[in-house]
């Protein structure tokens, strides 16, 4: 095997260093996405009540691992005899400032699920986080659950009569 000459080593090392430096400056100019969490809502299709634990961290704060919001709330069961009516509700008192939030959600005693706004491309200024418990009215065992992130609908109303 032939050893590369000194000139070839210096050229490749210089090109690699330049690529690293230019990559770092590109990251320094990009800021993480920020949004206001307009609402966190829970829809419970299951026939039993469930407790949802919600932790919100502000990754831009001086203490990014200290939660800026923590609540546990039990949401009522779905009544299968009431058509088009499900259990659920809203979390209140959410942070009102835009920031780079990291959200942890836990259903009952299960594993924590993560919503990190920095993962989303083209993040809107305001987001809603929805938690759906159960997909059918008659589930056996622990219910399925999912977390969704969406842009809030326009909440303007026409009051002219």
Q: Cα–Cα distance between 61 and 72 in angstroms, integer?
A: 23
Per-residue confidence in pLDDT tens, the chain, 161 aa: 555 555 554 455 544 444 444 444 444 446 777 889 999 999 888 888 999 999 999 988 888 788 999 999 999 888 777 776 778 899 999 999 998 889 999 999 899 998 877 777 777 888 899 998 887 655 566 788 888 888 887 654 343 43
Q: Which residues contact 87 (CB under 8 A, 6 or more apart)?
A: 43, 44, 45, 46, 49, 75, 76, 77, 78, 79
Residue 94: predicted pLDDT: 95
The parent domain of residue 137 ranges over: 36-150
Residues 6+ apart with CB under 8 A from 114: 102, 103, 104, 105
The answer on 62 and 9 residing in a single domain is no
Let me know whether 60 and 128 are in one domain: yes
Residues 61 and 92 in one domain: yes
Structure pTM? 0.70
Identify whether residues 41 and 98 lie together within a single domain.
yes
pLDDT at 2: 56
Output the pLDDT for position 63. Answer: 83
Task: Specify the pLDDT at position 20.
Answer: 45
């Amino acid at each position: 095997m032939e050893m590369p000459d000194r000139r070839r080593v210096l050229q490749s090392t210089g090109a690699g260093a330049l690529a690293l430096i230019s990559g770092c400056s590109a990251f320094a100019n990009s800021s993480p996405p920020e949004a206001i969490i307009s609402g966190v809502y829970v829809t419970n299709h299951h026939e039993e009540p469930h407790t949802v634990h919600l932790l919100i961290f502000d990754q831009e704060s001086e203490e990014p691992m200290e939660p800026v919001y923590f609540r546990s709330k039990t949401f009522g069961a779905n009544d299968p005899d009431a058509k088009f009516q499900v259990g659920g509700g809203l979390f209140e008192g959410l942070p009102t400032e835009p920031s780079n939030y990291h959200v942890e959600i836990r259903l009952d005693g299960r594993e924590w699920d993560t919503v990190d706004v920095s993962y989303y491309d083209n993040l809107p200024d305001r987001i809603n986080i929805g938690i759906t418990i159960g997909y059918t009215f008659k589930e056996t065992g622990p219910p399925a659950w999912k977390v969704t992130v969406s842009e809030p609908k326009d909440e303007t109303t026409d009051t002219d009569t």
